Structure 1
């Protein structure tokens, strides 16, 4: 029992030998409009049950005559209310954000417990000040994150603790709401980051959908300031406000969990916000406004609805019996860390008019950001920010290097350091463009968020997954999540020549120990006025003195699933045609015909975002690696290093591979392709 709760238990003892309080606790409400109206309804319920007595309210805009019983004193300010004495047992604060801290300090100094609406304060400094005042006074401070009173939360903890969804991979919070122009006209502080030099920190994550953040943090085990390792913000706005209305917040906890919050007030339609725990055997999604839990595993879907403890009643019980608060001020330290990161972040970036549509008119008008539901789902699944996904209206993140041909930027080299651990972080190229600027790569797509542009990846390197996602094993005969993900990091760069990048890479296991050393070379140059070529050479050598097995799902028993080695993930492509030359002079056309074949080259043509382009994948002269091709499920091309059997890298005898890709604007025919190849 804390010092605070012990003090209250002694003052309001219940049980044998203790007399019950002679009168119910006296409550004062500061702020009777907006959310204060909900408190009035709740107080009416509790007063009718004889649990509390509403003795006073304070608001510069007093309630209408007759709206409250004559026994309730009405004041313009909390200062006047407290001066009239005696101090109420509990002061409820349903006031603008920037007033929370000074009003809470005044109530605590008067000897009252405090129930403060979210967010509890407008800065970390205020948080520390109010927390210190509460500790010094011995009073209690409950924060109005009502979802934390849900009985679903302990049930979710039990399911996770029993292994019901396996190991936790991460958590995501999603909220898609609609807010109109009129919403931001309801008060002077609405939509403000600051006002008259005073922090307000209104915004989608700190106020409107703050419950999503607070609930997600709670489910991730992050309560206090000390529980948070880092907070990253990616803030945007479509409304003409100071504050963000469409944002991603990524929180990493000291315990190693990651919470990705994707939140917006610019959705096409209002939806129920939720927090999902992603596990290796299934997911648990908590729709906190409904107290509904949906558990999804391979056995199916289970839906349950739970009750909820009222936070004011919990505060009263804590005051009387010393029971723990469900949402104490100290336990909102993690949330305040998020608020502080948002408060100190650069101003939200405006989402350009070309990326949104305004619906409705006048004060009922509201912006809808294009394709936002899919983008938010993709962000949550990849644990990535909008900027990291390369969303067109998001901030531009500088690549490690840019490849250019005749002054045209044609590829951006990413070091992979921002990729989540279970996607096997590694360097890659994205976006890659034709000379006319058509983008012909994708990364972290919704269907396979571990697909990363153009690069080298293998799913089985002595049992370590350098591909990302689930691992296919012969023993299981299926894909399963395993704690086996490695990462590929740059050790050294050898550059200096135009159109050339050489680098030394280390393939490290889950424990960080090196397994392979790679020498990789990129070479790029023009091959005509509307085409350029990209050549990738790589050599894989054991980092130690023992051989290393290089395998794939195919080498582990999955028929025709031998992907791994060089891989190119394409973006969505309409009218896609894939073909290759056959051994008898015929043309092989379509995925089923070319997948698994060994041919000198393979071509892909189609329309990417309205522009036609052709990619020609040219194998090395002595290559016997089959092509891996996907068209229907997703667009991708690879050259399989270990199609149906592992390849062994010996110390001093590296495994070497080379492939060249020609990128051309327009739709090319076989004769055009052979002409370009002859120029190589």
Structure 2
């Protein structure tokens, strides 16, 4: 078995984690970091010297990699800006490379449809880096459900509370933007920071181990508390699948306290609780309790292993693809269609201040309790009769053709 040659586009921000994961996995003998694209080699001179010293090829542009990398590169990792995902993935596949694309796959359904079309035309693959779809616990949960042990899944709900400071939004040109570089970004909590947890629920509701659930309709509310961004930072969504399962999602970047995501899956024969650290508890109506964790399997690394295994023909199917994440994109696009606009929360309700760590922070007092209540009652925020919340309409997303908020 020959080693799979990985290239990574970039060295800063999330690209750094790609480089570390591949280099740590090299000891397994299945893959090797062989090339890196560094556009700004002056300001990254130390990193360029380090990589060259290890024998890794350095390219000054993505185009140069595509033209000259065939001798050493099999899979290109794209931890790049959200607006460029589809274009760069398609270019890479058309040039003859397999692609590992960071989540979210693309801002619009039409972009992901173009990626699916390119996969079929080129025979190349595009694996999506939704790490928890590669995790031991999520896959074990889905098999448990598909085996009928939870009965019929009635509802799945998740919530998460992650503050995001000004430094987070200042880190690049597209953070906190709805549009950047002339393209849609939709950089809200559902589409970026908490995207894994929405995708988990849609995947778990799918009818087999490789599919996500087909969605029937969407209702969503998008709010903004930070005074200096244009995207949403406090959002909730309700989905209904074609099989009747309800999915609820509540996320905020303006909480009073940080709390990691938690998910509940309710079936006719019991309930599953899953936490971000992958601690999982199944409580069946017959009194049986089953608990498990990730058994030491790091899903971030599994993303790379599965892509390498697919390239080596050791597995038939990738875990996470443009096709089985399309319904995640449908959910996001449908959310914007439903909300119609991002509603600014009145600034007299918001607190913006320098916290004890010196970070400029935005908080909406009381939002934590409101989300807890909405989660418990399976309601959207406007259903709680909050003064600043705005009721929205259901949007039918069956056979969803495309998303264009500029019409």
TM over 0.5: yes
Query: 1:184–1:228: structure 2 CA closer, same or farther, 3 Å change rule?
Result: same
Matches of 1:78 and 1:343, distance apart in 2: 32
Contiguous gaps of at least 5 residues in structure 1: 1-19, 399-416, 419-680
Residue 116 of structure 1: how far off its partner (Å): 0.3
Residue by residue over 1:584-641, the C-alpha shift from the partner in whole angstroms, topping out at 9 and shown as x without a partner, is xxxxxxxxxxxxxxxxxxxxxxxxxxxxxxxxxxxxxxxxxxxxxxxxxxxxxxxxxx
8 Å contact kept, 1:224–1:333: no
Specify the alignment match of 2:225 in structure 1.
238
Match of 1:346 in 2: 340
Deviation (angstroms), 1:304: 1.9
Segment of structure 1 superposing worse, 52-61 or 249-258:
52-61
For 1:252-292, what per-residue CA distance to the aligned partner results, in whole angstroms no more than 9, with x for missing partners? 111111101101111222212122102345421111x3122
Provide Cα deviations, 1:13-38, integer angstroms capped at 9, x if missing partner: xxxxxxx33xx111110122111111
Which of the pair has the greater relative contact order for Cα pairs under 8 Å at 6+ separation?
A: 2
8 A contact 2:52–2:58 mirrored in 1: no
Contact 1:193 1:242 in 2 (8 A): yes
- Partner deviation per Cα, 1:502-549 (whole Å, 9 max, x = no partner): xxxxxxxxxxxxxxxxxxxxxxxxxxxxxxxxxxxxxxxxxxxxxxxx
Asked if 1:337 is matched to 2:330, the reply is yes
Pick from 68, 93, 112: which aligns with 1:84? 68
- Corresponding residue for residue 152 of structure 1: 137
Paired position in structure 1 for 2:235? 247
Q: State how far apart, in whole Å, the 2-side matches of 1:252 and 1:142 are.
A: 26
Maintained 8 Å contact 2:203/2:212: no
Equivalence for 1:304: 292
CA distance in 1 between counterparts of 2:45 and 2:164 reads 28
Match runs of 1:555-634 below 5 Å:
none
Q: Is the 8 A contact 2:219 2:392 kept in 1?
A: no
Per-residue deviation, residues 553-611 of structure 1 (Å, max 9, x unmatched): xxxxxxxxxxxxxxxxxxxxxxxxxxxxxxxxxxxxxxxxxxxxxxxxxxxxxxxxxxx
* Helix, strand or coil at the partner of 1:192: coil
CA distance in 1, matches of 2:155, 2:39: 45
User: Secondary structure at 2:375's aligned position in 1?
Assistant: helix
Do structure 1's residue 67 and structure 2's residue 55 form an aligned pair? Answer: no
Cα separation, partners in 2 of 1:397 and 1:105, compared to 1, 3 Å? closer
Partners of 2:143 and 2:31 lie apart in 1 by: 34
Which of the residues 369, 373, 381 maps onto 1:374? 369
Residues 465-476 of structure 1 mapped to structure 2, 5 A cutoff: none
For structure 2, the residue ranges without an aligned partner over 5 or more in a row are: 396-407
**Aligned residue number for residue 56 of structure 1:** 35
In structure 2, C-alpha distance between the alignment counterparts of 1:230 and 1:221, rounded to whole Å: 15
Corresponding residue for 1:316? 308
Distance in 1 of aligned mates of 2:358 and 2:230: 18
Residue 258 of structure 1, aligned match among 246, 251, 260: 246
What's the counterpart of residue 401 of structure 2?
none
Deviation of residue 334 (structure 1)?
0.9
- Deviation track 1:58-86 (CA, whole Å, cap 9, x = no partner) reads 13234432332432122232112112232
1:48 Cα deviation (Å)? 3.1
Using a 3 Å threshold, how does the CA distance of structure 1 residues 278 and 325 change in structure 2: closer, same or farther?
Answer: same
Q: Alpha carbon RMSD of aligned pairs, Å?
A: 2.6
- Does 1:360 find its partner at 2:354? yes
Distance in structure 2 (CA, Å) of the matches to 1:30 and 1:177: 28
Q: How many residues align?
A: 378
5 Å-filtered alignment, 1:518-557, equals none
Q: Is the 8 A contact 2:205 2:212 kept in 1?
A: no
Query: Hey, what's the Cα distance between the residues in 1 that align with 2:111 and 2:121?
Result: 15
2:197 is the counterpart of 1:212 = yes
> Is the partner of 1:231 in helix, strand or coil?
strand
**Aligned mates of 2:113, 2:198 — CA distance in 1:** 20
Change (3 A) 1:112 1:209: same
Residues 112 and 233 of structure 1, relative CA distance in 2, 3 Å threshold: same
Aligned with residue 229 of structure 1, among 203, 216, 221 = 216
Shift of 1:144: 0.5
CA drift of 1:301 comes to 6.2
Per-residue Cα deviation, 1:369-389 (whole angstroms, up to 9, x for no partner): 222222222222333211222
Q: Secondary structure at the match of 1:208?
A: coil
Specify the SS of the correspondent of 2:231.
coil
| Deviation of the 1:95 alpha carbon | 0.6
Larger proportion of helix: 2
Distance 1:281 1:374, change over 3 A: farther
Task: Check the 8 A contact 2:282/2:289 in 1, yes or no.
Answer: yes
Q: For the pair shown, which has the larger CA radius of gyration, 1 or 2?
A: 1
Matches within 5 A, 1:414-493: none
CA distance in 1 between partners of 2:331 and 2:392 (Å) = 22
| Alpha-carbon contact 2:5-2:34 (below 8 Å) kept | yes
Structure 2 partner of 1:202 = 187
Distance 1:114 1:317 in 2: 13
Residue of 249, 257, 275 corresponding to 2:263? 275
Distance 1:296 1:360 in 2: 43
> Are 1:170 and 2:155 an aligned pair?
yes
Check 1:141–1:252 CA distance in 2 against 1; reply closer, same or farther (3 A cut).
same
Q: For residues 59 and 341 of structure 1, do their structure 2 counterparts lie closer, same or farther at Cα, with a shift above 3 Å needed?
A: farther
* Alpha-carbon separation, structure 1, partners of 2:152 and 2:114: 38
Counterpart check, 1:128 vs 2:113? yes
Q: 1:98 touches 1:122 (CA, 8 Å); kept in 2?
A: yes
Within the candidate set 42, 46, 52, 2:21 is matched to 42
- Give, in whole Å, the separation in 1 of the partners of 2:75 and 2:125: 9
Question: How far apart, in 2, do the equivalents of 1:365 and 1:145 lie?
Answer: 29
- 1:188-229 CA distance string (max 9 Å, x none): 100001024311111100001101111111112277688111
